Amino acid sequence: MALLEVRDLEVGVAIGGKVLPVVQGISFDVEENQTLGIVGESGCGKSLTSLAIMGLLEGSMLRLTGGSISFNGQDLLALSPRARRAIMGDQMAMIFQEPMTSLNPVYRIGDQIIESLRQHRSMSQRQARARAIELLDLVRIPDPERRVDSYPHQLSGGQRQRVMIAMALACGPKLLIADEPTTALDVTVQKEVLDLMLDLQKRTGTAIILISHDLGVISETCDKVVVMYRGKIVESAKTATLFSNMSHPYTQGLLASIPVVDHDVEWLNAIPGRVPLIDEVLPGCAFHPRCSFAQASCATSPPSADYVSDDHLVRCHFPNDRPSGGEAGGDA
Amino acid sequence: MFVYTFNRLLALIPTLLAASILVFLFIHLIPGDPASILLGDTATPEEIAELTRAMGLDKPLWTQYFIWLSNVVQGDLGTSVFFREPVLAVIASGAETSILLACMTMMWIIVLGIPIGILAATRHGTWADQLASGGAMLFASVPTFWLGLYLILIFAVGLGWFPSSGFPSITDEGGVFNLRYLMLPSLTLAAPNAALIIRLVRASMLDVAREDHVRTARAKGLHPARVAIKHIFRNALIAVAAAFGFTFAALVSEAVVTETVFSLPGIGRLVVQSILRRDYPVIQGVILIIVIFYMLINLLVDLAYARLDPRVSLS
């Protein structure tokens, strides 16, 4: 049994009495000690999926409308709010995209880590403070004894994200969800933060869900990859399988859009068009208006998700009838 | 912080000078002079001229101002034309009522404004929120004198729960129970200001609730009440604290009306009556004291602001 089993997850947004589906039929497993990458453009439902797993949809316009989430053998959706909160921040923790705004500006960083510790562990203030200093040291914040009393505005973006990681790891979670943890950081700091997360994973055995729009980051760090487009999984496979045999034109387009350093190109290979809005009705494949291989049937019937090989799932009418490898998209 | 406080106190001096010059000029613009008002309708022009000379009012305006100023610097605010008592003693006689009224009013503003504001924000969109927001809108719009009269009508005349006017000192018979005389006036004064605080607490909390760090707090598995108070309200308090400075300014002018409606022997009513009596020394003295209070309260607000928000630096 996997640590996290997500089955047919559906999330909708409540607008004017109606609930429009934004995430549909999401199913995946995350094993202990494994890193799962979720990749896709902005607005494809990556973050919503992670917030739904974490239990943070409450109080917004978003509703979990179907599916199941099993974590460590427990059905998360059957738990009382209190039992759910006991898991949040303890066995399951999350790091967010915006380190500059994700820490409360009026409290010292040490106190924010201590809050997490004392919420889930019976510790004295003194013990928790000592542990907070250890955690800051673990995430390589220099001079942690002094820094523990700093306010967030006294730290750089990279340091704040390290504090977020320290806070997320405070109770030794089994699952860490990282929602674009490096997007807001400088490129040099990005690598440090990613390396730090993977290094800590090696030591603690934490499973990680890494959400990113950067296939490069995903290919270097993840064991398995889920590619999402407009709220659905369009392709998922082990990282090695996916990168050797990309079967969905969207995945190919994402890879083709990464500029290659030693090629002198005038135009980057972008995927033409944009992600359809949530209230746009597309009876066929949601990607067909942007797909250069689209056939007549793509506009009328939705493709099902089928295995093209073991563990390699593709949602496309013609997964094998095209030359594979970075030709989708074209010059836009 | 001590340097900052000292500098702010030093800045009081030019502000007080400017305020006193303005007040001095304005009260001399009002037609009518104290001598003729004191002597009444039957006074002859000679009597009026003699009293005017005796009070020094025949001297040029700037001379009068400097005489007054040099006395103030020596701690002498002058003598009331009407009461023939030192101005400080006249003000002190109204101070008890006004200070107790201000304290009770502030208590109501905090006790009503903050919890109802938090309730409206945490129950955002429910009937409780609509009731609180609607009620706040209503009380923010009602004029003080009208609300005062209706409270008298309902709670003093109708139900007979509270007295409708006057205020015997708490050192008199009845002791602290005499504070019931201030019940209706303080509620009248507090209503529009508490309404303002309700709306401000609600709006600030809803703003803060959308911030990323609140999501971080919820992701820690904290109880929603703890998130609301420790993370949302605590951050919203920064904006609310700033509003207390303005609230005090509003209180001063509304107190004038309220003390008149409830016939309270306070400083607000003293100002109105002194203006009617052209009691220049009392008007000058009261305004000086109000300006000092206003500036001290705003200094306190700024110091509180820096304590509430670590990003604010006072140096």
Q: How confident is the prediction along chain A (332 residues), in pLDDT tens digits per residue?
A: 889 999 999 999 888 888 888 888 899 999 988 999 999 888 788 889 999 999 988 777 888 888 999 999 999 999 999 999 999 999 999 999 888 899 999 999 999 999 999 999 999 999 999 999 999 998 888 999 999 999 999 998 889 988 998 999 888 899 999 998 888 777 887 888 888 888 888 888 899 999 988 888 888 889 999 999 888 888 888 988 888 888 888 888 888 777 777 777 777 777 877 777 777 777 888 888 888 887 888 888 888 888 888 888 888 888 766 654 444 443 33
Query: Are A110 and A132 within 8 A, CB to CB?
Result: yes
Assembly ipTM? 0.86
In a domain, B78, yes or no: no
Residue finishing a domain among B38, B73, B108: B73
- Residue A148 buriedness (CB in 10 A; 0-12 / 13-18 / 19+): buried
Q: Which of residues 284-313 of B touch A (CB under 8 A)?
A: 308-311
The answer on B94 and B59 residing in a single domain is no
The answer on B166 and B25 residing in a single domain is no
Across the interface, whether the CB atoms of A153 and B311 are under 8 A apart is answered: yes
| Minimum distance, in Å, between the CA of residue A324 and any CA atom of chain B | 41
Q: CA–CA separation, B305 vs A132, rounded Å?
A: 28
Q: CA–CA separation, A110 vs A135, rounded Å?
A: 10
CA distances for B82 relative to A157, B85, B273, angstroms: 67, 8, 10
Among chain B residues, CA nearest to A96:
B216
State the CATH number of the domain containing residue B137.
1.10.3720.10
The answer on B148 and B178 residing in a single domain is yes
What are the sequence ranges of the domains in chain A?
100-170
Q: CA–CA separation, A257 vs A241, rounded Å?
A: 20
User: Which residue from A96, A105, A115 is facing B215, i.e. has the nearest CB?
Assistant: A96
- Measured in Å, how far apart are chain A's first and last C-alpha atoms? 45
The answer on B159 and B113 residing in a single domain is yes
The answer on B139 and B42 residing in a single domain is no
The answer on B121 and B43 residing in a single domain is no
Query: Are A200 and A119 within 8 A, CB to CB?
Result: no
The answer on B52 and B108 residing in a single domain is no
Across the interface, whether the CB atoms of A102 and B216 are under 8 A apart is answered: yes
Give the pLDDT score at A322: 61
A54 touches chain B (CB under 8 A): yes
In a domain, B15, yes or no: yes
The answer on B258 and B117 residing in a single domain is yes
Spell out the residues 6+ positions from residue A182 whose beta carbon is closer than 8 angstroms to its own: A161, A189, A190, A193, A194, A212, A217
Query: Where in the sequence is the domain holding B102, given as residue range(s)?
Result: 87-308
User: Which residue from A59, A93, A120 is facing B219, i.e. has the nearest CB?
Assistant: A93
The answer on B294 and B169 residing in a single domain is yes
B210 contacts in chain A (CB < 8 Å): none
Give the number of domains in chain B: 2
| Minimum distance, in Å, between the CA of residue A13 and any CA atom of chain B | 17
The answer on B191 and B160 residing in a single domain is yes
Residue finishing a domain among B25, B49, B73: B73
Q: CA–CA separation, B245 vs B256, rounded Å?
A: 18
Q: CA–CA separation, A122 vs A142, rounded Å?
A: 28
**Residue A172 φ/ψ region, left for φ over 0, alpha for ψ in the -120 to 50 degree band, beta for the rest:** left
| Minimum distance, in Å, between the CA of residue B312 and any CA atom of chain A | 10
Residue finishing a domain among B44, B73, B102: B73
The answer on B266 and B211 residing in a single domain is yes
B124 contacts in chain A (CB < 8 Å): none
In a domain, B79, yes or no: no
B221 contacts in chain A (CB < 8 Å): 85-90, 119-120
Encode burial over B61-90: b for 16+ CB neighbours within 10 A, e otherwise: eeebbeebeeebeeeebbbbbbbeebbbeb
User: Which residue from B213, B222, B309 is facing A101, i.e. has the nearest CB?
Assistant: B213
Across the interface, whether the CB atoms of A119 and B310 are under 8 A apart is answered: no
CA distances for A262 relative to A204, A265, A269, B104, B259, angstroms: 38, 9, 15, 75, 82
Q: CA–CA separation, A215 vs A38, rounded Å?
A: 9
